[in-house]
């Protein structure tokens, strides 16, 4: 299942990440396994220091390049003058001729001589050359997006941000801005209520939803899938990851799970509202 970006290309709604637990590590076997299980959207980044292993996993899986959706992100602070050279280096490490999506990893820190419009123009140039089929951003606030959108030749296709119930109050204006401007929000850290903030108030709301959806689905639905559906129904796509085959298969089923009802989404939001928990990129967003 995929969504159409503002440049008319299609992005699979769930991606497999190579950051966090795979940071700096040989993740080739996990990538191969994820592709064999059915993931086609693979999320890399220059800062993860493992693009060569992402490339090795892709080659080991043996799937046609045209069937894969490969993402990488510009390491910050890279200056506008370095954008093309750094993407070419990524392409060499990945062993591909283009990436499907190239993101500015974060709006800060910027190279001293740069500003966001200048950096975005360099992104537009690699897009025009075909080295990146789509371009976008990550960890951009509304103000950061406003710095580039009005003057952009190409509007960012994606803004990848931390998105789960415990940051929803802070993320909602960004998601709303993105959706109003044709920018697809992508979520990372989506399993935080289960993984990094277990014991939080959303724990009590999930079991009745899991029970109702399992009956409606005629097969067990998991809390991770409910959180995935919450993300999709907020209008975002998902980037997750796992080293375990059972979870990889579970994540891939997420989009097929029946929809949460509006009252169930409201119950999750209401439970989470008093309990803010941001895990990543505090240097950009603060707490």
Per CB under 6 A, residues contacting ligand NDP are 17-21, 43, 138-139, 160, 188-192, 194-195, 224, 239-244, 247, 280-281
Considering the complex, what minimum distance in angstroms separates the CB of residue 17 from ligand NDP? 2
Q: What's the CA gap between 59 and 96, in Å, rounded?
A: 10
Residue closest to ligand NDP, measured at CB: 17
CA distance 111 to 276: 31
Instruction: Read off the tokens for 20.
Output: 């966090």
Q: Please, which residue, 161 or 213, has the CB nearer to ligand NDP?
A: 161
Least CB distance to ligand NDP at residue 197 (A): 10
Residue of 23, 48, 69, 251 marked active site: 48
- Burial tier of 83 (Cβ tally within 10 Å: 0-12, 13-18, 19+): buried
Strands (E), the chain: 2-4, 10-12, 14-17, 41-43, 69-74, 99-104, 132-138, 158-162, 184-188, 237-240
CB 87 within 8 A of CB 59: no
What is the nearest approach in angstroms of ligand NDP to the Cβ of residue 139? 5
User: Could you tell me the two tokens for 237?
Assistant: 């796509």
166 is catalytic: no
Considering the complex, state which of residue 43 and residue 264 has its C-beta at the smaller distance from ligand NDP.
43
Summarize the annotated binding site for substrate as residue ranges.
105
Smaller CB separation from ligand NDP, 151 or 220? 220
How far is it, in rounded angstroms, from Cα 278 to Cα 189?
9
Q: Which of 150/286 has CB closer to ligand NDP?
A: 286
Q: Cα(58)–Cα(39) distance, rounded to whole angstroms?
A: 11
**Rounded least distance, CB 21 to ligand NDP, Å:** 4
Residues classed as catalytic = 48
């Amino acid at each position: 299942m995929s969504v159409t970006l503002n440049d008319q290309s299609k992005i699979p709604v769930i991606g497999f990440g190579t950051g966090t637990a795979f940071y700096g590590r040989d993740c080739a076997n996990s990538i191969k396994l994820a592709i064999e299980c059915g993931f086609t959207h693979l999320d890399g980044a220059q800062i993860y220091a493992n693009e060569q292993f992402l490339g090795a996993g892709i080659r080991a899986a043996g799937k046609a390049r045209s069937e894969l959706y490969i993402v990488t992100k510009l390491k910050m602070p890279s200056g506008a003058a370095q954008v093309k050279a750094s993407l070419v280096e990524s392409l060499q490490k990945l062993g591909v001729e283009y990436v499907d999506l190239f993101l500015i990893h974060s709006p800060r820190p910027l190279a001293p001589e740069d500003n966001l419009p200048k950096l975005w123009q360099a992104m537009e140039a690699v897009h025009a050359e075909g080295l990146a089929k789509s371009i976008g951003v990550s960890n951009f606030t509304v103000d950061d997006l406003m710095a580039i959108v009005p003057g952009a030749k190409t509007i960012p296709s994606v803004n990848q941000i931390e998105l789960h119930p415990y940051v929803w109050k802070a993320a909602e204006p960004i998601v709303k801005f993105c959706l109003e401007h044709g920018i697809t929000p992508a979520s990372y850290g989506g399993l935080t209520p289960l993984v990094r903030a277990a014991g939080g108030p959303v724990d009590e709301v999930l079991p009745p939803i899991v029970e109702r959806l399992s009956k409606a689905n005629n097969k067990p639905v998991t809390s991770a899938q409910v959180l995935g559906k919450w993300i999709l129904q907020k209008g975002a796509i998902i980037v997750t990851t796992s080293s375990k085959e059972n979870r990889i298969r579970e994540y891939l089923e997420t989009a097929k799970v029946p929809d949460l009802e509006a009252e169930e989404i409201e119950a999750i939001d209401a439970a989470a509202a008093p309990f803010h928990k941001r895990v990543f990129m505090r240097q950009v967003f603060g707490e």
